[in-house]
Amino acid sequence: MQTRAGQSIEDESMRIIDAEIGDHRYSESEWPIVRRVIHSTADFEFARESAITFHGDAVRAGAKALKGGAPIVADVHGVTGLISSRHTAECGNTVVCRVSDQGVAQRAERENTTRSRAAMRESCKEIDGGVVVIGNAPTALLELLEIVRNGLARPALTVGVPVGFVSAAESKEALAASGLTCITNSKRKGGSAAAAAIINALFKSA
């Protein structure tokens, strides 16, 4: 639970963000998500050059799924550690991240792929109807798109904001063009803090 002092700092931070951004193109339901990402990263580019985009009725679908206790599948533990445990406890969400599982490492070695891809393959049950959140591994996002194309699972919402230099921008472009209900952004920026901030903001909107 936020203290009064902590809440006053957060409120002032949001006021500063609103003042510095000024006019923007986001809807009333979208802006709190984008603002939360800026608050978590101190990076205004998430509303500018590397702007966050919403595809399908992403805010409503994501909030509904989270509130309904849908499982949350993450690419790395850096994302899971930043997702509000209070909200997941209240809504009954299971948070899944298999990237460090021994079986996943063995599968990745056997199939000559990345652990991030193998972890997604091992999580199809939770992905189907769940919320997938990817902040670091473009290969996890590319694997998710392959899973969907093959009809193995389809998430209620995908948050795809992987950071990096290899396939990060391309994987996000593919997500945006996939027809999935999703929240993503352009170019190389992203990361665990941005990904988790989107989930936490969706919980609040729910």
Indicate whether 6 pLDDT > 90: no
For the chain, how far is it from start to end, CA to CA, in angstroms? 17
Residues 41 and 193 sit within 8 Å (Cβ to Cβ): yes
Q: Give me the pLDDT at residue 130, please.
A: 98
Is the model more confident about 206 or about 68?
Answer: 68
The DSSP element (H or E) to which 199 belongs, if any, is: helix 192-205
What's the pLDDT band for 5 if we cut at 50, 70, 90?
low
Q: Which residue has the tokens 């389809």?
A: 154
Distance (Å, rounded) from C-alpha 161 to C-alpha 13?
23
Strands (E) in the chain, as ranges, are 52-55, 72-74, 95-96, 131-134, 157-160, 182-185
Of the candidates 145, 141, 192, 146, the one whose C-alpha atom is nearest the C-alpha of residue 166 is 141
Domain covering 52-205 in this structure, CATH number: 3.40.50.10230
Candidates 24, 39, 55, 87; catalytic one: 39
What's the pLDDT band for 32 if we cut at 50, 70, 90?
very high
Indicate whether 163 pLDDT > 90: yes
Q: What's the Cα-to-Cα distance from 183 to each of 12, 44, 99, 149, 172, rounded to whole Å?
A: 26, 17, 22, 18, 10
pTM of the model: 0.92
Mark whether 39 is an active-site residue: yes
